[in-house]
Amino acid sequence: MIASQKIVVAGIGTEVGKTVVSAALVHLLKADYWKPIQAGELENSDSIKVAEYTQELGKLHPEAYRLNSPMSPHAAAAIDQIEIQLEKLVIPQTENHLIIELAGGLMVPLNNQQSNLDWLKKIQLPVVLVSCYYLGQINHTLLSIEVLKANKIPLLGIIFNGKENKDSKKAILEIGNTIELGTLPHLEEVNYDSIKKAAHEIRLDRALTV
């Protein structure tokens, strides 16, 4: 049994599968889920999707910010005439495991001075990095790894998403000096059953104390 954990899910870019991976981790750990900032798609938010994919195995904690426009948080907040403040991104209290899904990648701005990285430096929680197979993946993944290491943010490892490219995976793991926590296949249909099956491909025990 893995001791209660709070884990941040970050992506190397946009549309790399953070929500699918987050839902799979909720399945694996029967965890709570929290998306601190939702920008756009408020009627079909990532929290709603995770609830559908997991049938609410754990508790869904409400977002700190719900922004109307599907764009970078700082820009969406400006349209809504508010400013995101790190002090208001308060991690929910729970005795259960908690999966926290970032809004975008590490360097995505939250306001005109601060980014997701600044918040990660503040909370000092371990990160699972989601990497998707596409041209440019190696560069984007290694840059994300370097940013985490340079800022002393603990990286648990990488979950790869999509049709596997073994050469790309090998380069990332060796050059980045990190570990693979699993590879999720491309899902033709994303639903409760497919997410539950995909969760079995994740091996958090490679990084966490059992």
3-state SS, residue 67 = strand
Helix (H) or strand (E) holding 31: none
User: Is 152 considered catalytic here?
Assistant: no
Which position among 6, 18, 30, 35 bears the catalytic label? 35
Give the dihedral of Cα atoms 159, 12, 105, 102; nearest 10 deg.
Answer: -10
Alpha-carbon span 14 to 130, nearest angstrom: 10
CA angle in degrees (0–180, nearest 5) for 193-196-198: 110
Alpha-carbon span 69 to 80, nearest angstrom: 8
Give catalytic residue positions.
35
